[in-house]
């Protein structure tokens, strides 16, 4: 496939560069390695998703990218050159109710980031609030209502309007639809995708729902116990998952064409990040595990096709260099 000059330029200069980031917590006198050496880039205007089972470190990473927490080690760097607007990060959370102030009318909630950042003069704020409400499919009259007067899906629209009010160039979404019904999920995802395209936003997206991830992402990173085990362009990952853990995740998706769920033997629970297994942390669950996997941690190796895999059993097809 030919790459446009723009793509090439983006590859050289990612908007977000996450380098060897670690976040360790102290809990009951022990160290929890929630994020343990993660590196990835997000090119301008693209959406990168993180997937993985509960507790693998997705939210911990998202909070650091949003500036709500700091890494124990490593670096998170933005390069806003070429972005359509000044660099600003906003975050959308899983629970739209918890992230909205119950005592504030919707209009005040949405106006707050506009006022705080001085994005409009006093006269322009109300107009902008109405414009944002309409942008996310709500009505101008909703400005005077309170959050409890809305459904879950509508509340998530309000939090999206609030995030957009801050005119972000970079959006972090942590499970933005998992609290919603399937049909409402689809509406919100369509809205997010349209906004990303129209506003030229770059995004980090978190979900454990692979169908959602396939719909929204440009590239996907699969996390297991605080590390990335595979990164690939979305379709490549879904068509040809390479890491045994990614294959396990894919196999857990209901196969409608077969009329039932396929579940492989290699399941089992995720070990605790308080006491992770040595070597490749996936080895107790891995159908391909060999002696070497117990002692030697596999590094994420990049191939020329844009994928990267951390597994001793996967030989990169094209060329290999440390990612």
In the complex, the residues that contact ligand SF4 under the rule CB under 6 A are: 244, 280, 282-283, 286, 288-289, 293, 298, 311-313
Least distance in angstroms from the C-beta of 58 to Mg ion? 5
* Residue whose structure tokens are 């942008």: 135
Least distance in angstroms from the C-beta of 73 to Mg ion? 21
Nearer to ligand ATP by Cβ, of 268 and 287: the residue is: 268
CB half-sphere exposure, 238, CA atoms < 13 A: 16
Identify residues 5-34 at the interface with ligand ATP (CB under 6 A).
Answer: 25, 27, 32, 34
Nearer to ligand ATP by Cβ, of 45 and 52: the residue is: 52
Q: Which does residue 277 touch among ligand SF4, ligand ATP, Mg ion, none (CB within 5 to 8 A, set by kind)? A: none
- The dihedral built from the CA positions of residue 45, 46, 50 and 51, taken in this order, carries a sign that is positive
Among 47, 59, 203, 281, binds Mg ion (CB under 5 A): 59
Radius of gyration of the chain (CA): 21
Task: Burial-class residue 176 by CB neighbours within 10 Å (0-12, 13-18, 19+).
Answer: buried
Least distance in angstroms from the C-beta of 56 to ligand SF4? 14
Q: Which does residue 45 touch among ligand ATP, Mg ion, ligand SF4, none (CB within 5 to 8 A, set by kind)? A: none
CB half-sphere exposure, 106, CA atoms < 13 A: 29
Q: Which does residue 303 touch among ligand SF4, Mg ion, ligand ATP, none (CB within 5 to 8 A, set by kind)? A: none
Go through 286-300 and write b for each residue having 16 or more CB atoms within 10 A of its CB, e for each that does not. bebbeeebeeeebeb
Nearer to ligand ATP by Cβ, of 60 and 242: the residue is: 60
- The dihedral built from the CA positions of residue 29, 30, 32 and 37, taken in this order, carries a sign that is positive
Interface with ligand ATP includes 54 (CB under 6 A)?
Answer: yes
Nearer to ligand SF4 by Cβ, of 119 and 266: the residue is: 266
One DSSP character per residue, 44-75 reads TT-EEEEE-STTSSHHHHHHHHTTSS--SEEE
């Amino acid at each position: 496939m030919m790459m446009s000059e723009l793509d090439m330029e983006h590859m050289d200069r990612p908007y977000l560069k996450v380098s060897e980031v670690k976040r360790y917590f102290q809990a009951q006198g022990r160290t929890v390695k929630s994020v343990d050496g993660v590196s990835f880039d997000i090119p301008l205007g693209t959406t990168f998703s993180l997937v993985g089972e509960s507790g693998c470190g997705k939210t911990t990473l998202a909070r650091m990218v949003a500036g709500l927490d700091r890494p124990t080690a490593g670096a998170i760097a933005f390069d806003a050159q070429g972005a359509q607007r000044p660099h600003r990060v906003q975050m959308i959370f899983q629970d739209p109710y918890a992230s909205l102030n119950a005592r504030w009318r919707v209009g005040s909630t949405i106006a707050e980031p506009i006022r705080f950042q001085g994005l409009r003069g006093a006269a322009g704020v109300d107009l902008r609030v109405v414009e944002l409400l309409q942008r996310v499919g709500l009505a101008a009259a909703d400005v005077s209502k309170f959050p409890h007067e809305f459904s879950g899906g509508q509340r998530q629209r309000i939090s999206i309007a609030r995030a957009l009010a801050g005119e972000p160039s970079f959006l972090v979404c942590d499970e933005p639809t998992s609290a919603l019904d399937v049909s409402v999920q689809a509406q919100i995802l369509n809205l997010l995708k349209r906004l990303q395209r129209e506003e030229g936003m770059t995004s980090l997206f978190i979900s454990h729902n692979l169908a959602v991830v396939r719909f929204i992402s440009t590239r996907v990173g699969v996390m297991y116990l605080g590390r990335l085990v595979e990164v690939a362009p979305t379709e490549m990952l879904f068509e040809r998952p390479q890491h045994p853990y990614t294959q396990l995740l894919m196999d857990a998706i209901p196969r409608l064409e077969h009329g039932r769920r396929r579940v492989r033997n290699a399941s089992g629970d995720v070990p605790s990040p308080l006491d992770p297994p040595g070597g490749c942390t996936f080895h107790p669950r891995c159908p391909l595990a060999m002696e070497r996997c117990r002692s030697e941690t596999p590094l994420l190796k990049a191939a020329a096709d844009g994928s990267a895999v951390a597994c001793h059993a996967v030989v990169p097809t094209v060329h290999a260099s440390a990612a």
